[in-house]
Amino acid sequence: MKIAVSGKGGVGKTTISASIARHLRDQGYQVYAIDADPDANLAQVLGIKEKVKPLVELEDVIAEKVGKKGSFYSLNPEVDDVVEDYSLVQDGIRFLRMGGIKKASSGCYCPENSFLNSIMRSLVFSRDEAVILDMGAGIEHLTRGTSAGVDIMLIICEASQVSLETARTIENLAREGGVKTIKFIANKVRSEKEQEFLKRKFTDDELLGIIPYSEELVLQGISENGDSGLLTAEIARLFAKLKLENNQ
């Protein structure tokens, strides 16, 4: 199962990604949790203390696998071993940090992008494990080639017009890229009124679930003490629903 998580800044992508990773681990899956947001903190939320170097900064590995800047380089290097060797295991979850895709305007950084793209391909196509990609609002790590390997994109939003607009923009990008299934999760929902607002904006089929606002999550985060009970239960419920839908 390959799951991408996206949404506007601060909506709860990382919190939910970490919780999904733990849920799937507890269900017996081998889990890869991937930080694919250039300034994300998934490591911290998973309880990882050490600083993890982003893959995009592994200059020697990139030079070895892809080739050097300015010379011929491989568009499709074999990187399955990099995924093994450079992931860090915490509480039974394998963690990798991608680092940012280089923009074309910052010069020719093609080897780095080719490397990251191969890592993504390896993650979504070459393995049977569950892969959770914490993506940020930009989904540039998902190229036309790799989007097809994502089984489901979960777009997180809050009950606000701006967050819904971002959610729909991401949806369009993901659809254009070829992601097959896209669902929305509303997070930090505080009232009946917010629930009604969300139900007007999404069809029943689009909206996978509504996660209530939890003061406990704001105060403690989920890093040190594991998930809050509330989030654990909500994620289990959402996945049970997904499973049901897929079996139909």
Ligand X SMILES: Nc1ncnc2c1ncn2[C@@H]1O[C@H](COP(=O)(O)OP(=O)(O)OP(=O)(O)O)[C@@H](O)[C@H]1O
> Applying CB under 6 A, which residues contact ligand X?
7, 9-15, 37, 40, 136, 187-188, 211, 213-214, 217-218, 221
14 scored as a contact of Mg ion (CB under 5 A): yes
Distance CA 103, CA 85 (A): 27
Beta-sheet strand order (sheet of 88-90): 88-90, 93-97, 31-35, 130-134, 2-7, 152-157, 181-189, 207-212
- Number of other CB atoms surrounding residue 9 within 10 Å: 11
Would you say 62 or 131 has its CB closer to Mg ion? 131
Would you say 218 or 244 has its CB closer to ligand X? 218
Distance CA 55, CA 19 (A): 23
Would you say 219 or 244 has its CB closer to ligand X? 219
Instruction: State the minimum distance, in angstroms, from the CB of residue 45 to Mg ion.
Output: 8
Instruction: State the minimum distance, in angstroms, from the CB of residue 134 to Mg ion.
Output: 6
211 binds, among ligand X, Mg ion, none (CB under 5 to 8 A by kind): ligand X
- Number of other CB atoms surrounding residue 225 within 10 Å: 10
185 binds, among ligand X, Mg ion, none (CB under 5 to 8 A by kind): none
Would you say 126 or 161 has its CB closer to ligand X? 161
244 binds, among ligand X, Mg ion, none (CB under 5 to 8 A by kind): none
Amino acid identity, position 196: E
What string of DSSP letters covers 11-29? Answer: SSHHHHHHHHHHHHHHTT-
Mention every residue, 6+ apart, whose C-beta is less than 8 A from residue 190.
159, 212, 213
20 scored as a contact of Mg ion (CB under 5 A): no
Instruction: State the minimum distance, in angstroms, from the CB of residue 10 to ligand X.
Output: 4
Distance CA 163, CA 156 (A): 9
- Residue 191, token pair as written in the block: 């009232």
228 scored as a contact of Mg ion (CB under 5 A): no
Would you say 9 or 92 has its CB closer to ligand X? 9
Instruction: State the minimum distance, in angstroms, from the CB of residue 220 to Mg ion.
Output: 17
Please report, as ranges, the residues that interact with Mg ion according to CB under 5 A.
Answer: 13-14, 40
